[in-house]
Amino acid sequence: MALALTENTAILNWIDEMAAMTQPDQIVWIDGSQAQLNALRAEAVASGELEKLSEEKLPGCYLHRTAVNDVARVEDRTYICSRRQEDAGPTNNWMAPDEMYAKLKKLYTASMKGRTMYVIPYSLGVVGSPFAKYGIELTDSIYVVLNMNIMTRVGRQVLDALGDSPDYVKGLHAKADVDPENRYIVHFPEDNTIMSVNSAYGGNVLLGKKCFALRIASAQGRREGWMAEHMLILGIQNPKGEVHYLAAAFPSACGKTNLAMLIPPARYRQQGWKVWCVGDDIAWIRVGEDGRLWAMNPEYGFFGVAPGTNEKSNPNALHTTQKDTIFTNVVRNLDDNTVWWEGLDKNPPKNAVDWKGNPWDGTVSAEKGAHPNSRFTAPAKNCPCLSPEFENPRGVPLSAIVFGGRRAKTAPLVYQSFDWEHGVFVGSAMASETTAAAAGAVGVVRRDPMAMLPFCGYNMGDYWQHWLHMGTVVTGRAPKIFHVNWFRTDDEGHFIWPGFGENLRVLVWIMKRCFDEVGADETPIGYLPKPQDIDLEDSGVDLDTLKGLLNVDTELWKEEAAGIRAFYSKFGRTLPSALSAQLDALERRLD
């Protein structure tokens, strides 16, 4: 075994056990040094695992292609293996831990023969902070090492912080044969263990991301009294220089990254408004010494969807990718050795290679050049609007929590919950209507409570109960809870609200409500803005249109309540009685 960077027996014994099973030719410890990382980049380029891009136009950037059968997270192959099936709940795949360990052992045995096992010590959160949690990922992929180095804080300092503690999350990843029939991404929340085999795609193999930071961490948070949430965190700075923070949860295809890196409209910028990105995807939330909820982004980089990212939709995200970024499954432009994807601009390259590695002429090809789920892994420090509080070990205090979804008619532009318990109900009922981008019929309502349905590491009924409990811990200091919907459409299907930077107008109203600076109208679903309290100047939206966007259609909401009741029925006795009571109360108000 290679020279270890720690004397921690809990780590060394586990690595010995995993190495005996997977049988790598050698073991390499990742110390986080630039010299070691540069050597690994060079090795990956030599083997074809990575392709170096133009140093002049994209300094420090590389391109990677995954197997054609291995391009996205696989929900049907993702398991939560708790000892009792009820603890995994009705929305997770479950298998008994002993049975799953036995199945995985066969797949892992000798899977690293002829390969190198890399030992990646990593921290989620600022090393040494009260929020920080530590993990070790074992992998046979240099691509994983280099991505984890962007997405998390990697190296010796993690092992120093851990000392001889056994409190770390174990992660084992083996590419094996990249066989989709034997692909598993498995979480053992009671063992703090993650095992991934037969995939090499980021979301399945960067085990610090959704696997640890949400699935394992949500279970840890429940045990330890904090929350791991699928939420962006942003700061809104007003012209007086005061910054207030909110966390927001949206299902996919609802503009989460665009909101996290929002650029204020011109008039707001001139007045001195600024928006700061603390995080674009995950928030860990704890009760601070002052009794408020504080949020921290446990990640160190952005793992973003490339298609549709451009100078207009999200200039900050685009600028973040301009150096030290790994692109996955995008087009390579051979003329200038840069990358391209659908929605980047209207000038697809003629002389190019598509995401599968085939010659591609974007001026005539009917086939897409980049995979729809192609990605960039970019360092957060590249982001032009990164919050000065990004490295604050205490996190930032939350004034508001925002839920949202994509609804053509039902949900108004914005409303506020009556209180914390009602806010948990609003989050538990969150839904989006399917778009053409998703498989299946368009316009189908998909429930995605708190945007956590694929990421909750335990029974969602218990998860809601944990949310309700957290509200009792921060009585009087709890963030106010809101719901937004940027996606109301007219009868022709066109979006009515302009979205993007204009969403700041709604966020400013939200902040005014948090500090009791404006009133609101009480409706059956919650508090709605008085139309004159949302600034429309230069927005292209008139007051009558805004009134339409704030309309609550009672009949549609009765259908919505029936949909929520059907969804709740899945959870049986684990559904908190408080949420049943909230649903009953909504139905009474609608009548």
Res. 352: pLDDT tops 90: yes
Would you state the pLDDT for residue 181?
A: 98
Confidence of residue 475 (pLDDT cuts 50, 70, 90): confident
pLDDT tens for residues 263-307? 999 999 999 999 999 999 999 999 999 999 999 999 999 999 999
Q: Under CATH, which number does the domain 229-297+390-590 receive?
A: 3.90.228.20
Where are the CATH 3.40.449.10 domain residues in the chain? 9-30+74-224
Res. 442: pLDDT tops 80: no
Confidence of residue 436 (pLDDT cuts 50, 70, 90): low
Ranges of H-type helices in 429-539: 460-473, 504-514
Res. 198: pLDDT tops 70: yes
Would you state the pLDDT for residue 434?
A: 77
Where are the CATH 3.90.228.20 domain residues in the chain? 229-297+390-590
Confidence of residue 443 (pLDDT cuts 50, 70, 90): confident
Res. 438: pLDDT tops 50: no
51's tokens: 């392709």
Where are the CATH 2.170.8.10 domain residues in the chain? 302-382
Query: Over pLDDT 70: what percentage of the chain?
Result: 98
Q: Give the mean pLDDT of 545-552.
A: 98
**302-382 adopts what CATH topology?**
Phosphoenolpyruvate Carboxykinase; domain 2 (2.170.8)
CA gap 148, 134 in Å, rounded: 13
497's tokens: 């609200």
| Number of separate helices (H) and strands (E) present in the chain | 17, 30
Would you state the pLDDT for residue 96?
A: 98
pLDDT tens for residues 150-191? 999 999 999 999 999 999 999 999 999 999 999 999 999 999
Cβ atoms of 271 and 252 within 8 Å: the answer is: no
C-alpha distances (whole Å) from 209 to each of 25, 125, 342 are: 27, 12, 25
Share of the chain residues as helix, strand and coil, in percent rounded to the nearest 5: 35, 25, 45
CA gap 293, 511 in Å, rounded: 16
Annotated active-site residue 254? The verdict is yes
Q: Give the mean pLDDT of 468-482.
A: 95
pLDDT tens for residues 226-240? 999 999 999 999 999
Contacts 24+ apart (CB under 8 A), 178-185: 178/67, 178/69, 178/70, 180/69, 180/70, 180/74, 182/107, 183/70, 183/74, 183/77, 184/77, 184/79, 184/100, 184/103, 184/104, 184/107, 185/73, 185/74, 185/77, 185/78, 185/79, 185/211
Among candidate residues 481, 575, 460, the one with its CA nearest the CA of residue 215: 460
Q: Give the mean pLDDT of 209-216.
A: 98
Residues 6+ positions from 500 with CB-CB distance below 8 Å? 255, 258, 262, 263, 313
Among candidate residues 74, 138, 149, the one with its CA nearest the CA of residue 112: 138
Res. 439: pLDDT tops 60: no
Q: Give the mean pLDDT of 110-115.
A: 98
Q: Give the mean pLDDT of 96-110.
A: 98
SS3 per residue for 378-399: EEHHHCCCECCCCCCCCCEEEE
Q: Which residues pair with 153 in a beta bridge?
A: 123
Three-state DSSP class for residue 98: helix
pLDDT tens for residues 124-149? 999 999 999 999 999 999 999 999 99
Confidence of residue 421 (pLDDT cuts 50, 70, 90): very high
Confidence of residue 440 (pLDDT cuts 50, 70, 90): low
379's tokens: 């360092």
Residues 6+ positions from 413 with CB-CB distance below 8 Å? 484, 485, 486, 488, 497, 506, 546, 549, 550
Q: Which superfamily is assigned to 9-30+74-224 in CATH?
A: Phosphoenolpyruvate Carboxykinase, domain 1 (3.40.449.10)
Candidates 61, 81, 211, 254; catalytic one = 254
CA gap 575, 446 in Å, rounded: 19
Angle (nearest 5°) at CA 364 between 358 and 366: 70
